Amino acid sequence: MSFSAADVKRIAHLARIEITDVEIGPVLAQLSNILKLVEQMQAVNTEGIKPMAHAQDIPLRMREDEVTETDQHELFQSIAPQVEAGLYLVPKVIE
Amino acid sequence: MINSSLKELSALLAARKISSRELTEAFFARIEKFNPELNAFITVDPEKSLAQAEAADRLRAEGRAGPLTGIPVAQKDIFCAKGWLTTCGSKMLHNFVAPYDAHVVEKMNAAGIVNLGKTNMDEFAMGSSNETSYFGKVKNPWDRTAVPGGSSGGSAAAVAARLAPAATGTDTGGSIRQPAALCGITGIKPTYGVVSRYGMIAFASSLDQGGPMAKSAEDCALLLNVMAGFDARDSTSLQRPAEDYTRQLSEPLTGLKIGLPKEYFAEGLAPDVAQAVETAIEEFRKLGAQVVEVSLPNTRLSIPVYYVLAPAEASSNLARYDGVRYGYRAPEYTDLTDMYKKTRAQGFGAEVKRRILIGTYVLSAGYYDAYYLKAQKLRRLIAQDFADAFRQCDVIMGPTSPTVAFDLGEKADDPVAMYLSDIYTIAVNLAGLPGMSIPVGFGAKGRPVGLQIIGNYFAEARMLNVAHQYQQVTDWHTRLPEGL
């Protein structure tokens, strides 16, 4: 399972984390080591085994589709980097 | 008084020998003196804490005090506390004043417990040494050149150094148990779903669990009584009848069957740790327990499985940190995408970024089956190992960590070496079982050794009983580091 600089760039973009050209080498080396560790999983046969997503293998609880939250947007927006008229301000997307 | 148990402090407060205000001030004096070196606390706010202490004293005057009313307890900085800076050890949240209380904090406030301050931790709970915090490393009170363990390193150091009588922690792969072991204190991670994760900043949602850290099993039981309980706001919180975790403490251990997994006593275990653990097992035999050998064949697989699942869940949970609604935002950027990328590149530390990248990779198209789904299948095998073992024993025991605390900086440059030291704790989170660590002696360089006790689902009261009986006939848990 080879992992390349192109993979690092692609993953970094998916994760929306900037990785400069200078950082790519060390990050690639560290991630490759971790992936080598992870490869150990392939040695075990898991045919016919169901994946287990929950620690006790139980489904999540359901609730009634009712409004239970109150409007606290003023409180929550008081800590935002930039707000105006109840809206979060962000820069434009430049294509 | 700084060495007093929660029970003793409760008695002192009830007898009016001391007020909550005086007690809280006594711990502030300790924090002022020793925290600059240990760096166990990120935030201390005497004004807020003393206001709570005074409210607790008023509650007592009205005859409405409960068992832990007026006692100051430190909060790991992963729990949102309304009006308090809540950083999760990260630059990303260095300016985040939580607008609400975590369920755990709400319950502790309602019990009249005083918030003593927010403890240091590995960034976003990712770490086993408390070296990744944006706010600097925490030092092990037993040896200032050693790590305290992580991610709840600040909480563990605070309790060990008597800067707090107890503290909250969280555990995703060992982050309560391992620092408890490395700092010579007691800590318990309950069964998954017992403590609400609402307001507990998320790392890996199927693994995270909050729990108490204190000087004894009895103290942990008292604090767990407050922390545990159903919360409708956490979709994984379990609805079960309320439990008193102290109810079995005094039961004798005659007939207890202790399982020792042979995989936990194989290569990789340091001889000084093995020695202390074996001596402790002997003590349990004297208390009437029987020891049987069990096997957990997939133990070694738990590391790769965890380092696929936890980063995958982390990559999803940490996607919310984008500079839009709260926390750090990069000062300069060209457009929205650039803002996201720079905010996250600058706001997260190296270990967090590594884990997000690994997580993103294993969830990405074309790799999901080979990695994430594969890990979830192995997770079932690992849980099955424990189920099989518990047919032959009541509790499982072994070392919490393969070595005593390592030196600061020793593993910081080698993430994989750091991951390998989680070998005994990780599988417990994957299976959702309860696990605890108790101090059982000292090893190399005078650094503490911890014994891990793993129970079957919802066996916390029994585990606390097992630990408590051991602590009645030994005194490791009462030891205090030199110079403190």
Collapsing DSSP to helix, strand or coil, B37 comes out as helix
Collapsing DSSP to helix, strand or coil, B217 comes out as helix
Question: What residues of chain A lie within 8 A of the CB of B358, using their CB?
Answer: 31, 34-35, 38
What residues does B397 pair with on adjacent strands? B453
Q: To the nearest whole angstrom, how far is the Cα of A5 from the nearest Cα of chain B?
A: 13
Question: What residues of chain B lie within 8 A of the CB of A63, using their CB?
Answer: 232
Active site residues of B: 76, 151, 175
Across the interface, do B324 and A93 touch by the CB < 8 Å criterion?
no
Across the interface, do A17 and B345 touch by the CB < 8 Å criterion?
yes
B interface mutation test: which of A8, A11, A16 has the most B CBs within 10 A?
A16
pLDDT digits (tens, 9 = 90+) for B301-347: 999 999 999 999 999 999 999 999 999 999 999 999 999 999 999 99
pLDDT digits (tens, 9 = 90+) for A29-87: 999 999 998 999 999 999 999 999 887 778 889 989 999 999 999 999 999 999 999 99
Tokens of B444: 């190399």
Closest partner residue to A55 (CB to CB) among B308, B348, B432 is B432
Torsion sign across C-alpha atoms B72, B181, B444, B441: positive
What is chain A's mean pLDDT, rounded?
Answer: 91
Question: What residues of chain A lie within 8 A of the CB of B96, using their CB?
Answer: 79
The distance from CA B417 to its chain's CA centroid, rounded to whole angstroms, is 21
Q: To the nearest whole angstrom, how far is the Cα of A8 from the nearest Cα of chain B?
A: 8
Tokens of B373: 């789904």
Collapsing DSSP to helix, strand or coil, B442 comes out as strand
Collapsing DSSP to helix, strand or coil, B171 comes out as strand
| pLDDT in the model for residue B419 | 85
User: By percentage, how much of chain A surpasses pLDDT 70?
Assistant: 99
| pLDDT in the model for residue B87 | 98
Across the interface, do B236 and A80 touch by the CB < 8 Å criterion?
no
Q: Helix H segments across B75-211? A: 103-110, 153-160, 177-182
Q: Residue A1: is its pLDDT beyond 70?
A: no
Across the interface, do B357 and A7 touch by the CB < 8 Å criterion?
no
Across the interface, do B336 and A92 touch by the CB < 8 Å criterion?
yes
pLDDT digits (tens, 9 = 90+) for B242-272: 999 999 999 999 999 999 999 999 989 999 9
Q: Are A16 and B316 in contact (CB under 8 A)?
A: no
Burial B308-318 (b: 16+ CB within 10 A, else e): bbbbbbbbbbb
Could you tell me how many CB contacts below 8 A there are between chain A and chain B?
A: 166
Name residue, tokens 């409960």.
B66
How far apart CA A64 and CA B78 sit, in angstroms, is: 30
Q: To the nearest whole angstrom, how far is the Cα of A2 from the nearest Cα of chain B?
A: 13
pLDDT digits (tens, 9 = 90+) for A2-45: 789 999 999 999 999 999 999 999 999 999 999 998 999 999 99
| pLDDT in the model for residue A56 | 78
Average pLDDT, integer, range B266-283: 96
What does pTM read for this prediction? 0.97
B interface mutation test: which of A41, A49, A66 has the most B CBs within 10 A?
A41
Contacts of B31 (CB under 8 A, 6+ apart): B41, B44, B116, B117, B163
Q: Are B150 and B179 in contact (CB under 8 A)?
A: yes
| pLDDT in the model for residue B476 | 98
Torsion of CA B219, B220, B222, B225, to 10 degrees: 180
Across the interface, do A41 and B97 touch by the CB < 8 Å criterion?
no
Q: Residue A94: is its pLDDT beyond 80?
A: no
pLDDT digits (tens, 9 = 90+) for B465-476: 999 999 999 999
ipTM: 0.95
Q: Residue B102: which of B200, B226, B175 has the closest Cα?
A: B200
How far apart CA B189 and CA B180 sit, in angstroms, is: 11
A interface mutation test: which of B360, B368, B411, B421 has the most A CBs within 10 A?
B360
Q: Residue B446: is its pLDDT beyond 80?
A: yes
The distance from CA A37 to its chain's CA centroid, rounded to whole angstroms, is 21
CA terminus-to-terminus distance, chain A: 34
Q: To the nearest whole angstrom, how far is the Cα of B279 from the nearest Cα of chain A?
A: 33
